[in-house]
Structure 1
Amino acid sequence: MIQRLAVFGGTGDLTARYLLPALAALRAEGQLGDGFRLTGASREEWDSDRYRTWCAEQLDRHGGASPAGARRAVVASAGYRRADVTDAADVAAVVAGDEPVAVYLALPPALFPRAVDALHDAGLPPGSRIVLEKPFGEDLTSARELNRLLADVVPERAVFRVDHFLAMTTVQNVLGSRLANRMLEPIWNSTHIAEVEIVWDETLALEGRAGYYDGVGALKDMVQNHLLQLLCLVAMEPPITLGERDLRDRKVDVLRSVRLLTDQDVVHRTRRARYLPGRIGGHAVPAYADEEGVDPGRHTETYAEVELELDSWRWSGTTFRLRSGKALGRDRKEVAVRFRPVPHLPFGHEGEARPNVLRFELEPEGMTLDMTGIGAHAQALTPLSLTARLKPPHLPAYGRLLLDVLKGDPALSIRGDEAEEAWRVLAPVLRAWESNRVPLEEYPAGSDGPAPRPFEGDRRRRSDLLHPEALPHDGPH
């Protein structure tokens, strides 16, 4: 297990909010010993004492779930080096040593190629690993080039393209529910499943992230990585094991099976929009274009929706809808699997059969199965919901990912060919959006998003049935 972690971008928001609390959680679980060392690297003119003070402040703010002793141990393990991540000499000073080091690039994605070049020139100790956040590249061409650069520095197995969604408890439970329950896997196909919605809707607006978000947008920030990863787990064939090769091979199979959208498909099966002024939770929210740091001329979307189909034996005929939006009226973060209706109802006209929907709720983590049962009157149908709330995991998602990095288990990281296939899937969408073939719509902050198109009213009504609030829950819980 690697005992050194060097974080470039060591004073940034990712380090403060996620990496430091993850390290404290690992220490509390006994996964990090006294020999572990953290080096933060950034351009601030700090020394190690100043950095340790900053780490302590951030852990008090974001890592309160871990014991004070674990937080103090992480602070004590920390050191600091001022460094320009694109300068090979600076990088060499950070990673110098005989022992392997895990290098975490907690940086804007635009810096990745220059940072990897600097790592190549600086040289890494044998057995070292490189960690990159999403998005991996800006398109298919840049992803391929970044893969080529990385291959010149470390072996593919030592590259961790991390996506913290894959370490979330409910996401892992998608596999558990499918593969450990005999009643589900036989009906996990297009014969029984009409559509799958993979949704990350949030009330959160820009919240000061213009420097990153305005150059990326919802499609690249959420759909290209997080939501496509969820698609892979939902649609993949059962792997022989959950080891790195078997699991990642099956995920790549899913992406390869995605039917590429034609230009006409992109017009009719994708949407993009950005929010106007509105109110969320009683608070006024400015239009996205008026947020500080936003360039309105970029036409960055805050809402993205893509409808896909898979050309495979299992899934031909099932619709997969991926959607993410900011500044919406309610949080909805889930994978919703909608089953086809039963072929016959012998209950006359008393009540209506509720569509069976299995929802994997991502935040808060849980599962719900919407069903139909008999109500108080004989033969009168009534909706039922069976709900399970999952226990909080021992480790946060970033804790699980960091542990995999330090131990050298890449099963939950994204392989190079998988990253390229994800960009291939969305390449037609990117081209059409960049040429304005799909209009940039608008929606008020605090609303449900852009208004339904006239021709998709029926589809939107069906989609509404996937929401837990859409129908009354009169049955047992």
Structure 2
Amino acid sequence: MINRLTVFGGTGDLTARFLLPALAALRAAGHLGDRMRLTGASREDWDTERYREWAAEQLGRHAGHCPGDAREAVAASARYLRADVTDPGDVAAAVAGDGPVAVYLALPPALFPAVITALHEADLPAGSRIVLEKPFGEDLSGARELNRLLAGLVPEQAVFRVDHFLAMTTVQNVLGSRLANRVLEPIWNSTHIAEVDIVWEETLALEGRAGYYDHVGALKDMIQNHLLQLLCLVATEPPITLGERDLRDRKVDVLRSVRSLTEHDVVRRTRRARYLPGRVAGRDIPAYADEDGVDPRRRTETFAEVELELDSWRWAGTRFRLRSGKALGADRKEVAVRFRSVPHLPFGHSEEALPNVLRFQLEPEGLTLDLTGIGAHADELAPLSLSARMEPADLPAYGRLLLDVLTGDPALSIRGDEAEEAWRVVEPVLSAWERDLVPLEEYPAGSDGPPARGNAAVPPLTE
């Protein structure tokens, strides 16, 4: 197990909200000992004492559920280096030390090539690992170039392209529910499933993230970055094991089977929009174009929807719809699997029969099955819903991912060829949107998003 972690971007939001709490959770659970050392590297003119004070403050704010001694141990293990993350000398100083080091790039993706290039001159100890937050690159050619740079630095097994979605309890239960239950796996195909909605809609607006978000948008930030990963788990063939090779091979197969979108497909099967002024959860939200740090000329979308088809034996004829939006009226974060209707209903009011929908709810984590049962009269049908809440995980998602990095298990990280295939899927969309072949629609903040068109999505769960 690696006992040294260097975080470039060590004073950033990711470190404060997720990495420090993850380390505290690992310490509290007994996964980290006194030998663990954290190095934060960033531009601030701080020293180690100031950094430890900041780390303790962030741990108190974001990891209050962890025991105090675990938080104190993490803060005490930290040291700080002021560094230009593109300067080979500064980078070498940040990773210097005895034994292998896990190098975490908690940075904007645009900086990845320069940092990796600098790491080439840092003489990394054998056994070191590199961790990159997604999105991995900014397009297909950028992903290929990053893979080339990484291949000359460390073996592929030592590269962790992390996606915290894959460590969420409900996401893991997409596989568990399918593969451990005979009642589901035989009907997990296009013969029985009509469509799948993979949705991440949130009331959260920009919240000061213009420096990152305005250069990325909903398509890159959520659909290419996270929702395609959920598609892989929903649509994968059963792997022989959940080991890194078997699972990641099957995920790549799913992405390879996604039918390439033509320009005509992009026009018919994708949507983009951004929010106008409105009111969300009692707060007035300005138009996205008026948010601080936004350049309206970029025409960045805050809502994106893409409809995909898979050319495979299992999924030919099933529609997969991936959708994400910001500043909406309600949070909806789920995978909704809609089954086809039964061929015949021996009831007097067959029009009342609703399709069965299996929902994997991501936040809060849970599982719901929408069925149809008998109503007040024997010949009447009525909706029936079965729900279950997931047992809380023993570690937060970032805790699970950091533990995998430190112990060397890449099963939940994204392999290089998988990263490239994900960009292949969305590249025709990016190209068509850049040429304005798909109009940039608008929707009021606090609404349900742009008006629906064409085939309606699976409706949200009714509380």
Partner deviation per Cα, 1:126-162 (whole Å, 9 max, x = no partner): 0000000011000000000000000111000000000
Which consecutive residues of structure 1, in runs of 5 or more, have no partner in the other structure?
A: none
Partner deviation per Cα, 1:297-349 (whole Å, 9 max, x = no partner): 00000000000000000000000000000000100000000000000000112
Equivalent residue runs for 1:286-301 within 5 Å: 286-301=286-301
Q: What amino acid does structure 2 have at the position aligned with 1:38?
A: L
Within the alignment, does 1:468 sit opposite 2:424 as a pair? no
Which consecutive residues of structure 2, in runs of 5 or more, have no partner in the other structure?
A: none
Equivalent residue runs for 1:344-355 within 5 Å: 344-349=344-349, 352-355=352-355
- 2:408 is matched with 408
Matches of 1:345 and 1:256, distance apart in 2: 39
- 1:317 is matched with 317
**Displacement after TM superposition at 1:226 (Å):** 0.4
Q: What amino acid does structure 1 have at the position aligned with 2:158?
A: A
**Displacement after TM superposition at 1:452 (Å):** 2.1
- 1:44 is matched with 44
- 2:8 is matched with 8
- 1:265 is matched with 265
Matches of 1:350 and 1:335, distance apart in 2: 27
Matches of 2:354 and 2:80, distance apart in 1: 58
Within the alignment, does 1:452 sit opposite 2:452 as a pair? yes
Matches of 1:434 and 1:202, distance apart in 2: 25
**Displacement after TM superposition at 1:213 (Å):** 0.2
- 1:53 is matched with 53
- 1:209 is matched with 209
Within the alignment, does 1:28 sit opposite 2:33 as a pair? no
Partner deviation per Cα, 1:170-227 (whole Å, 9 max, x = no partner): 0000000000000100000000000000000000000000000000000000000200
- 2:231 is matched with 231
**Displacement after TM superposition at 1:351 (Å):** 6.7
Matches of 2:81 and 2:309, distance apart in 1: 49
- 1:175 is matched with 175
Partner deviation per Cα, 1:230-289 (whole Å, 9 max, x = no partner): 000000000000000000000000000000010000001000000000011121100000
Contact 1:48 1:80 in 2 (8 A): yes
- 1:196 is matched with 196
**Displacement after TM superposition at 1:375 (Å):** 1.9
Contact 1:197 1:321 in 2 (8 A): yes
Within the alignment, does 1:307 sit opposite 2:307 as a pair? yes
Matches of 2:329 and 2:294, distance apart in 1: 22
Matches of 1:433 and 1:234, distance apart in 2: 27
Within the alignment, does 1:132 sit opposite 2:132 as a pair? yes
Matches of 2:327 and 2:131, distance apart in 1: 30
Within the alignment, does 1:103 sit opposite 2:103 as a pair? yes
**Displacement after TM superposition at 1:98 (Å):** 2.7
Within the alignment, does 1:379 sit opposite 2:379 as a pair? yes
Q: What amino acid does structure 1 have at the position aligned with 2:43?
A: R
Q: What amino acid does structure 1 have at the position aligned with 2:251?
A: K
Equivalent residue runs for 1:325-404 within 5 Å: 325-349=325-349, 352-404=352-404
Matches of 2:461 and 2:347, distance apart in 1: 24
Q: Considering only aligned residues, what root-mean-square deviation do their CA atoms show, in Å? A: 0.9
Contact 2:349 2:379 in 1 (8 A): no
Matches of 2:317 and 2:65, distance apart in 1: 45
Q: What amino acid does structure 2 have at the position aligned with 1:243?
A: G
TM-score (norm 2): 0.99
Matches of 2:451 and 2:372, distance apart in 1: 30
Equivalent residue runs for 1:73-88 within 5 Å: 73-88=73-88
Matches of 2:37 and 2:291, distance apart in 1: 39
Contact 1:351 1:381 in 2 (8 A): no
Partner deviation per Cα, 1:88-121 (whole Å, 9 max, x = no partner): 1111111112300000000000000000000011
Q: What amino acid does structure 1 have at the position aligned with 2:111?
A: L
- 2:63 is matched with 63
SS in 1 for 2:10: coil
Matches of 1:282 and 1:77, distance apart in 2: 42
Contact 1:224 1:426 in 2 (8 A): yes
- 1:435 is matched with 435
Q: What amino acid does structure 1 have at the position aligned with 2:460?
A: H
SS in 1 for 2:5: strand
- 1:19 is matched with 19
SS in 2 for 1:215: coil
Matches of 2:376 and 2:438, distance apart in 1: 50
**Displacement after TM superposition at 1:376 (Å):** 2.5
Matches of 1:68 and 1:267, distance apart in 2: 54
Q: What amino acid does structure 2 have at the position aligned with 1:145?
A: E
Number of residue pairs matched by the alignment: 463
Matches of 2:37 and 2:427, distance apart in 1: 41
**Displacement after TM superposition at 1:379 (Å):** 2.2
Q: What amino acid does structure 1 have at the position aligned with 2:403?
A: L
Matches of 1:238 and 1:34, distance apart in 2: 40
- 2:119 is matched with 119
